[in-house]
Chains A and B, each alone.
Chain A
Amino acid sequence: MLKLLLLAVLPVMLCGCPTWQDKANQTLKGVFETTKTADGIANAYLHDKCMKAAATCKARGPAVAPMTKPASAPAAAPEAACPELVACQKTKHAFEDIVLSIHHAIAAGLVAIQLGDEGLTGDWVSKVLAAVSHLQELAKTAGIWERK
Protein backbone atom coordinates (compact mmCIF):
# COMPACT_ATOMS: atom_id res chain seq x y z
CA MET A 1 0.00 0.00 0.00
CA LEU A 2 2.80 2.38 0.96
CA LYS A 3 4.59 1.49 -2.27
CA LEU A 4 1.47 2.32 -4.24
CA LEU A 5 1.11 5.68 -2.50
CA LEU A 6 4.75 6.53 -3.07
CA LEU A 7 4.47 5.60 -6.73
CA ALA A 8 1.52 7.94 -7.09
CA VAL A 9 2.98 10.89 -5.16
CA LEU A 10 6.72 10.73 -5.80
CA PRO A 11 6.74 11.64 -9.52
CA VAL A 12 4.67 14.73 -8.79
CA MET A 13 6.86 15.66 -5.82
CA LEU A 14 10.04 15.24 -7.83
CA CYS A 15 8.67 17.17 -10.80
CA GLY A 16 7.37 20.03 -8.65
CA CYS A 17 5.28 20.99 -11.65
CA PRO A 18 6.74 24.42 -12.37
CA THR A 19 4.23 26.85 -13.79
CA TRP A 20 4.85 29.07 -16.86
CA GLN A 21 5.57 31.87 -14.39
CA ASP A 22 8.33 29.81 -12.73
CA LYS A 23 9.85 28.93 -16.10
CA ALA A 24 9.75 32.53 -17.37
CA ASN A 25 11.27 33.81 -14.11
CA GLN A 26 14.08 31.30 -14.36
CA THR A 27 14.77 32.29 -17.98
CA LEU A 28 14.89 35.98 -17.03
CA LYS A 29 17.04 35.21 -13.99
CA GLY A 30 19.51 33.28 -16.15
CA VAL A 31 19.82 36.16 -18.63
CA PHE A 32 20.07 38.68 -15.77
CA GLU A 33 22.98 36.85 -14.11
CA THR A 34 24.80 36.26 -17.43
CA THR A 35 24.38 39.91 -18.45
CA LYS A 36 25.67 41.06 -15.06
CA THR A 37 28.81 38.94 -15.50
CA ALA A 38 29.36 40.05 -19.11
CA ASP A 39 28.81 43.68 -18.12
CA GLY A 40 31.38 43.41 -15.34
CA ILE A 41 34.04 41.99 -17.69
CA ALA A 42 33.29 44.44 -20.52
CA ASN A 43 33.16 47.46 -18.24
CA ALA A 44 36.49 46.64 -16.58
CA TYR A 45 38.08 46.32 -20.03
CA LEU A 46 36.51 49.50 -21.45
CA HIS A 47 37.17 51.61 -18.34
CA ASP A 48 40.81 50.54 -18.45
CA LYS A 49 40.97 51.42 -22.16
CA CYS A 50 39.41 54.85 -21.50
CA MET A 51 41.83 55.57 -18.64
CA LYS A 52 44.72 54.77 -20.98
CA ALA A 53 43.22 57.11 -23.61
CA ALA A 54 42.90 59.81 -20.94
CA ALA A 55 46.54 59.34 -19.92
CA THR A 56 47.59 59.70 -23.58
CA CYS A 57 45.74 63.02 -23.80
CA LYS A 58 47.24 64.31 -20.58
CA ALA A 59 50.74 63.35 -21.71
CA ARG A 60 50.17 65.22 -24.98
CA GLY A 61 49.66 68.32 -22.87
CA PRO A 62 48.67 71.32 -24.97
CA ALA A 63 45.48 69.80 -26.36
CA VAL A 64 44.06 69.42 -22.84
CA ALA A 65 45.74 72.45 -21.23
CA PRO A 66 43.36 75.19 -22.52
CA MET A 67 40.54 73.75 -20.43
CA THR A 68 41.03 76.67 -18.03
CA LYS A 69 40.07 79.09 -20.78
CA PRO A 70 39.25 82.78 -20.39
CA ALA A 71 35.54 83.51 -19.98
CA SER A 72 35.39 85.26 -23.36
CA ALA A 73 36.82 82.29 -25.28
CA PRO A 74 34.36 79.96 -27.06
CA ALA A 75 33.66 76.66 -25.33
CA ALA A 76 36.00 73.90 -26.43
CA ALA A 77 34.39 70.63 -27.51
CA PRO A 78 35.49 67.53 -25.54
CA GLU A 79 36.27 65.91 -28.93
CA ALA A 80 38.89 68.58 -29.59
CA ALA A 81 40.48 68.15 -26.17
CA CYS A 82 40.70 64.36 -26.16
CA PRO A 83 39.20 62.57 -29.17
CA GLU A 84 40.56 59.19 -28.01
CA LEU A 85 38.64 59.43 -24.74
CA VAL A 86 35.45 60.61 -26.43
CA ALA A 87 35.60 57.67 -28.85
CA CYS A 88 36.30 55.21 -26.03
CA GLN A 89 33.44 56.55 -23.89
CA LYS A 90 31.12 56.35 -26.88
CA THR A 91 31.77 52.58 -27.12
CA LYS A 92 31.43 52.19 -23.34
CA HIS A 93 28.13 54.10 -23.30
CA ALA A 94 26.79 52.11 -26.28
CA PHE A 95 27.57 48.87 -24.45
CA GLU A 96 25.97 50.11 -21.21
CA ASP A 97 22.89 51.34 -23.09
CA ILE A 98 22.26 47.82 -24.38
CA VAL A 99 22.91 46.30 -20.95
CA LEU A 100 20.39 48.74 -19.48
CA SER A 101 17.88 47.94 -22.23
CA ILE A 102 18.23 44.24 -21.34
CA HIS A 103 17.60 44.98 -17.66
CA HIS A 104 14.62 47.21 -18.48
CA ALA A 105 13.14 44.44 -20.68
CA ILE A 106 13.73 41.93 -17.85
CA ALA A 107 11.91 44.26 -15.43
CA ALA A 108 9.02 44.56 -17.90
CA GLY A 109 8.96 40.76 -18.19
CA LEU A 110 8.73 40.42 -14.41
CA VAL A 111 5.82 42.87 -14.36
CA ALA A 112 4.09 40.85 -17.11
CA ILE A 113 4.55 37.70 -14.98
CA GLN A 114 3.01 39.50 -12.00
CA LEU A 115 0.09 40.54 -14.21
CA GLY A 116 -0.39 36.87 -15.15
CA ASP A 117 -0.19 37.66 -18.87
CA GLU A 118 1.60 34.74 -20.51
CA GLY A 119 1.55 36.27 -24.00
CA LEU A 120 2.99 39.59 -22.85
CA THR A 121 5.64 37.76 -20.81
CA GLY A 122 6.63 35.81 -23.93
CA ASP A 123 6.93 39.07 -25.89
CA TRP A 124 9.26 40.57 -23.26
CA VAL A 125 11.35 37.40 -23.04
CA SER A 126 11.78 37.60 -26.84
CA LYS A 127 12.82 41.25 -26.54
CA VAL A 128 15.33 40.33 -23.82
CA LEU A 129 16.85 37.62 -26.01
CA ALA A 130 16.99 39.98 -29.03
CA ALA A 131 18.80 42.59 -26.92
CA VAL A 132 21.26 39.91 -25.76
CA SER A 133 22.04 39.10 -29.42
CA HIS A 134 22.57 42.81 -30.06
CA LEU A 135 24.96 42.95 -27.08
CA GLN A 136 26.90 39.96 -28.41
CA GLU A 137 27.28 41.68 -31.80
CA LEU A 138 28.59 44.86 -30.20
CA ALA A 139 30.95 42.87 -27.96
CA LYS A 140 32.36 41.19 -31.07
CA THR A 141 32.85 44.45 -33.00
CA ALA A 142 34.34 46.24 -29.97
CA GLY A 143 36.84 43.44 -29.34
CA ILE A 144 35.33 42.55 -25.97
CA TRP A 145 33.99 39.14 -27.02
CA GLU A 146 37.46 37.53 -26.96
CA ARG A 147 37.79 38.48 -23.29
CA LYS A 148 34.76 36.54 -22.02
Chain B
Amino acid sequence: MDPVTIAAIISAGLPLIMKLVDLAKLFVTGTVAKLTLPEVQAEIDRIMKRTADQDAEEWEAAGGKPQ
Protein backbone atom coordinates (compact mmCIF):
# COMPACT_ATOMS: atom_id res chain seq x y z
CA MET B 1 0.00 0.00 0.00
CA ASP B 2 1.53 3.30 -1.04
CA PRO B 3 1.92 6.19 1.43
CA VAL B 4 -0.65 8.37 -0.33
CA THR B 5 -3.36 5.73 0.09
CA ILE B 6 -2.42 5.24 3.75
CA ALA B 7 -2.57 9.00 4.33
CA ALA B 8 -5.95 9.20 2.60
CA ILE B 9 -7.34 6.35 4.71
CA ILE B 10 -6.00 7.89 7.94
CA SER B 11 -7.43 11.32 7.21
CA ALA B 12 -10.77 9.76 6.34
CA GLY B 13 -10.65 7.73 9.52
CA LEU B 14 -9.63 10.71 11.69
CA PRO B 15 -13.17 11.52 12.91
CA LEU B 16 -13.55 7.86 13.87
CA ILE B 17 -10.24 7.98 15.74
CA MET B 18 -11.35 11.11 17.61
CA LYS B 19 -14.59 9.37 18.58
CA LEU B 20 -12.59 6.42 19.88
CA VAL B 21 -10.35 8.75 21.89
CA ASP B 22 -13.40 10.43 23.45
CA LEU B 23 -14.82 7.02 24.33
CA ALA B 24 -11.50 5.96 25.85
CA LYS B 25 -11.37 9.15 27.95
CA LEU B 26 -14.94 8.58 29.12
CA PHE B 27 -14.07 5.00 30.01
CA VAL B 28 -10.96 5.95 31.98
CA THR B 29 -12.46 8.91 33.86
CA GLY B 30 -15.75 7.07 34.41
CA THR B 31 -14.21 3.98 35.95
CA VAL B 32 -11.85 5.83 38.31
CA ALA B 33 -14.10 6.85 41.20
CA LYS B 34 -13.78 10.55 41.91
CA LEU B 35 -13.89 12.23 45.27
CA THR B 36 -17.00 14.37 45.66
CA LEU B 37 -17.92 17.26 47.94
CA PRO B 38 -20.85 15.44 49.66
CA GLU B 39 -18.45 12.60 50.54
CA VAL B 40 -16.06 15.04 52.25
CA GLN B 41 -18.91 16.91 53.96
CA ALA B 42 -20.33 13.62 55.30
CA GLU B 43 -16.93 12.77 56.81
CA ILE B 44 -16.68 16.23 58.45
CA ASP B 45 -20.17 15.80 59.96
CA ARG B 46 -19.34 12.27 61.13
CA ILE B 47 -16.17 13.43 62.94
CA MET B 48 -17.98 16.34 64.64
CA LYS B 49 -20.79 14.08 65.86
CA ARG B 50 -18.31 11.44 67.00
CA THR B 51 -16.37 14.03 69.03
CA ALA B 52 -19.51 15.23 70.81
CA ASP B 53 -20.66 11.66 71.53
CA GLN B 54 -17.25 10.57 72.81
CA ASP B 55 -16.82 13.64 75.03
CA ALA B 56 -20.19 12.94 76.65
CA GLU B 57 -19.33 9.26 77.06
CA GLU B 58 -15.94 10.06 78.63
CA TRP B 59 -17.41 12.54 81.14
CA GLU B 60 -20.12 10.05 81.99
CA ALA B 61 -17.40 7.47 82.71
CA ALA B 62 -15.70 10.03 84.95
CA GLY B 63 -18.91 10.44 86.95
CA GLY B 64 -20.26 13.51 85.17
CA LYS B 65 -18.97 16.86 83.97
CA PRO B 66 -19.11 19.70 86.53
CA GLN B 67 -21.92 22.14 85.68
Contact = CB atoms under 8 A, between A and B. Distances in A.
Point out which of B34, B39, B65, B66 has the most chain A C-beta atoms below 10 A from its C-beta: B66
Contacts of A104: 44
A1 B1 contact: yes
A85 to B, nearest CB: 5
Contacts, number: 121
A25 B20 contact: no
A91 interface: no
A80 B58 CA distance: 16
A81 B40 contact: no
B35 A28 contact: yes
A110 B63 contact: no
Contacts of B27: 16
A32 B42 CA distance: 12
A16 B26 CA distance: 8
Contacts of A25: 34-35
Main secondary structure, interface of A, reads helix
Chain B interface size range: 35 or more
Interface residues of A, number: 54
Contact of A110 (B13, B28, B40, B66): B40
The secondary-structure label for the interface of chain B is: helix
A68 to B, nearest CB: 8
A14 B59 CA distance: 56
B24 A64 contact: no
Interface in A1-20: 1, 4-5, 8-9, 12-13, 16-18
Interface of B: 1, 6, 9-10, 13, 17, 20-21, 24-25, 27-29, 32-37, 39-41, 43-44, 47-48, 50-51, 54-55, 57-59, 61-67
22 contacts: A1-B1, A4-B6, A5-B13, A5-B17, A8-B17, A13-B24, A16-B24, A18-B29, A22-B29, A22-B32, A28-B35, A39-B47, A43-B54, A81-B66, A88-B58, A99-B47, A100-B48, A103-B44, A107-B41, A107-B44, A110-B35, A111-B37
